[in-house]
Amino acid sequence: MQNIHSHVWNQDEHFTPQMIAEAQIARGGEPVDLTVRFDALMQDVEPFEKVVIFGLKARLSGVWVPDEYVAALAAQDDKLYGFASCDPTQPDYVEELHDALEDLGLCGLKMGPIYAGFDPRDPRCDVAYRYCEDHGLPIVFHTGTTFNQAAPLGVSRPWLFDEVAIRHPELRMVLAHVGHPFSGECLAVIRKHPHVYADISAIFYRPWQFYNTMILAQEYGVTHKLLFGTDYPFARGQESIDGLRHVNAVIGTATLPRVSEEVIEGILTRDAFALLGIAE
């Protein structure tokens, strides 16, 4: 099993107090300690052979995890693959990104348009897209809603990535959380573009939405484009696996369509690293 969406950060160093306070509504009021401790992370990733870890850079929302921090953690265990992050609204972002991808051994990129307040079609992003496309590096985008008051929902919509994929057909992209709650839009985008995928991280704990998203993916025939991720520390590894295996529990004995066993195990066994071209 692989996990292509796990976070590393320290809330006291990398978040503003407002961001920490707002994050507490991420899981419906369950308190979340955002600080990821290395031992706890390694325990959480026990079920997985390969794990992508990243922070996030988004000045607007008060998150800034340096690439060096991610690289240092990734260097501590062979199963961890670190991704850089960038905020294209910041003037020196291109230089920082080149340093991260060329000198720190990071093997992909994480971007959060809603957190940083930019449209994914913004021309300022083109340098990052072109670089990743030319070097075969995947980009994981946060898509769909979030808890921050300042984060503009307008730039969270999955359909915006259709234009990015048309302009950059070889760029490997992952639209995180199947664009929750705009999963229909997200599935429409991944269906069109051979190199655009979605990850199912952090949806299982909204069981009705998760079930409907999976059924919709099945009806559109795009379940082969769904990748497994957890969004740790917002969701844990084993509970995410269990949540997927129990996706049909929400309908009980009702005569409704079911997510097939084949689809569920397909997601859990998919070689996402190969599909995204993540280098060893």
Between 185 and 231, CB nearer to Zn ion: 231
d(Cα 252, Cα 256) in Å, to the nearest integer?
9
d(Cα 124, Cα 91) in Å, to the nearest integer?
10
Span from 24-32, 66-74, 227-235, 252-260 in contact with Zn ion (CB under 5 A): 227-235
What secondary structure letter does DSSP report for 15? Answer: B
Q: How far is the CB of 7 from Zn ion (least distance, A)?
A: 6
**E strand or H helix at 2:** strand 2-7
How many other CB atoms are there within 10 angstroms of residue 255's CB atom? 5
Between 98 and 145, CB nearer to Zn ion: 145
Mark residue 180 as left, alpha or beta (left: phi above 0; alpha: psi -120 to 50; beta: remaining).
Answer: beta
Q: Do the Cβ atoms of 237 and 204 come closer than 8 Å?
A: no
d(Cα 253, Cα 251) in Å, to the nearest integer?
6
Between 133 and 231, CB nearer to Zn ion: 231
Residue among 111, 157, 231, 247 that touches Zn ion (CB under 5 A): 231
Q: Angle 1-46-49 (CA atoms, 0-180°, nearest 5)?
A: 35
* Size of site (CB under 5 A) for Zn ion: 1
Span from 68-76, 127-135, 229-237, 242-250 in contact with Zn ion (CB under 5 A): 229-237
List beta partners, residue 3: 51
Q: How far is the CB of 126 from Zn ion (least distance, A)?
A: 24
d(Cα 88, Cα 111) in Å, to the nearest integer?
9
Q: Interface with Zn ion includes 199 (CB under 5 A)?
A: no
Binding mask 102-131 for Zn ion (x = CB under 5 A): ------------------------------
Between 66 and 112, CB nearer to Zn ion: 112
Return the residues of window 234-253 that contact Zn ion according to CB under 5 A: none
Q: How far is the CB of 30 from Zn ion (least distance, A)?
A: 16
Between 26 and 100, CB nearer to Zn ion: 26
Between 215 and 227, CB nearer to Zn ion: 227
d(Cα 212, Cα 183) in Å, to the nearest integer?
9
**E strand or H helix at 98:** helix 93-103
Taking CB atoms, the residue at the shortest distance from Zn ion is 231
Between 141 and 218, CB nearer to Zn ion: 141
Binding mask 21-60 for Zn ion (x = CB under 5 A): ----------------------------------------
| Side-chain-facing half-sphere of 97: CA atoms under 13 Å | 26
Residues that bind Zn ion (CB under 5 A): 231
